Amino acid sequence: MTVANPAGPSTSPSSRLRRARLASTSHPVLPGPSTSAVAIGAGIESDIAGVTLANAHLRLDVAPLLGGGVTRFDWRSDGNSVPIFRRCRHVTADTDPNELACYPLLPFSNRLGGGRFSVAGRVIDVPRNRAAEALPIHGDGWLAQWQVDAASDESVRLTLDRSDGKPYAYRAVQTYTLEGSTLAIALEIENVGRDALPFGLGIHPFLVRDDDTVLSAAAGGLWLSGDDWLPVRHVPVPPAWQFGVAYPLPGAVVNHAFTGWSGQATVAWPKRRLSLTVAANTDYYVLYTPPGETFFCFEPVDHPINAANLPGGATEHGMTLLARGARLRREFRFTVEPIGLRATATAGGRAKRQAHTDN
């Protein structure tokens, strides 16, 4: 295994690009049962150093400097690569995080109402972190530059030091591992600040969406969002969004936090003859289905949107109050499997019936 360190500040972008292409040539990701490769710079045509992991079943590209996010996650079969997460087409220093294939959510998920919350009688102000957003969103891990701490044939460990962060001072570790046909992602965060604060974790994958894509992700209820995408009331899951069995994705926009999730979900792409099983040690997920797009977001999280300001407070809604030195860890697994013709026909039939109902 060869690992090329990212170029230093004095190295020109064109030089870094040549090094990246050289690394990709020296360590190509080739199809075959013996494939297992890691190279910093491989497969990314830009001046952003990346990490490529691959085995006989999967390929994963990670951009540490872009929020430690994923730029590509593919299923590999018979010499072909099939996207599971929507691919990031242009990976540069200016790439918007929402163009990535997946990114981490820490120290909280989604929007924070009013840019503040209260804990132990103290009001904690959280600054906006995106010019286009009226409220702070997703914490700051997805906007930070992570460091490669360790890399092996099928795993990479990234670290982030935000000890000087305000109001959240923390250190975080993110690990990506390929285990056969499973991508395992682990997130761990440590509070290094003076005061105890509520922390939460999650991930934000952009999954490929076809006309016949179906989702199975049973939940007990959901928080309906208002025009500002903040939750307004908790309700039982409406029939159209009851994903107890494989069911087509809604045609209209959905952007809500589902509660009482079992931590297990399945996505199926009948035309691609593939399925994805999602497993996480969290009780919530956020589903985002933008109309007309070729992706949707299924975000396993340990708390709903604006959890710190919901009735009862943050810890009543999944967040964990961490004292100085305390840690929180969450794990997420994505297992890709081929599906047979019978399962394909069943899922395709549900999609057609739903399309007829929507019309």
Q: SS3 helix, strand, coil % of the chain, rounded to 5?
A: 15, 40, 45
**Residues 332, 280 contacting (CB under 8 angstroms):** yes
In a domain, 342, yes or no: yes
Indicate the DSSP class of residue 167. S
Q: What is the DSSP letter of 60?
A: E
Looking at residue 48, its pLDDT comes to: 78
By residue range, what is the domain housing residue 268? 102-358
The answer as to whether 156 is a domain residue is: yes
Residue 292 domain-assigned?
yes
Query: Could you give the angle at the alpha carbon of 114 between the alpha carbons of 113 and 119, nearest 5°?
Result: 80
Give the span between the Cα atoms of 353 and 359, in whole angstroms: 10
Give backbone dihedrals phi and psi of 353, rounded to 5 degrees, phi first: -65, -40
In a domain, 61, yes or no: no
Tell me the CB-side half-sphere exposure of residue 37, using CA atoms within 13 A. 23
Nearest Cα residue to 272 out of 196, 331, 351, 177: 351
Question: Is cis: bond before 28, omega within 30 of 0?
Answer: no
pTM: 0.84
What lies within 8 Å, CB to CB, of 278 at 6+ separation is 217, 264, 265, 266, 267, 298, 300, 332, 333, 334
Q: What is the pLDDT of residue 345?
A: 46
Q: Into how many domains does the chain fold? A: 1
Domain annotation covers residue 137: yes
CATH number of the domain to which 254 belongs: 2.70.98.10
CA distance from start to end of the chain: 54
pLDDT for the residue 290: 96
Specify if 207 maps to a domain.
yes
Q: What is the pLDDT of residue 341?
A: 53
Does 89 reside within a domain? Answer: no
Per-residue pLDDT of the chain (359 residues; tens, 9 = 90+): 222 233 333 333 334 334 433 333 333 444 333 334 444 444 445 557 899 999 999 999 999 999 999 999 999 998 899 999 999 999 999 999 999 999 999 999 999 999 999 999 999 999 999 998 999 999 999 999 999 999 988 999 999 999 999 999 999 999 999 999 999 999 999 999 999 999 999 999 999 999 999 999 999 999 999 999 999 999 999 998 989 889 999 999 999 999 999 999 999 999 999 999 999 999 999 999 999 999 999 999 999 999 999 999 999 999 999 999 999 999 999 999 999 754 554 555 555 445 444 44
pLDDT at residue 7 in the model? 34
Confidence (pLDDT) at 240? 87
Contact 324, 193 (CB under 8 A): yes
User: Is 76 inside any structural domain?
Assistant: no
Q: Write the CB contacts of 48 (distance below 8 Å, at least 6 apart in sequence).
A: 63, 65, 66, 91, 92, 93, 95
- The pLDDT, as a whole number, for residue 38 is 45
Residue 8 tokens, joined:
């230093």
**Segment 311-320 long-range contacts (CB within 8 Å, at least 24 positions apart):** 313/118, 313/119, 313/198, 314/117, 314/119, 314/198, 314/200, 315/198, 318/200, 318/282, 318/283, 318/284, 319/108, 319/198, 319/199, 319/200, 320/198, 320/199, 320/200
**Which residues make Cβ contacts (< 8 Å) with residue 314, sequence separation at least 6?**
117, 119, 198, 200, 303, 307, 308, 321
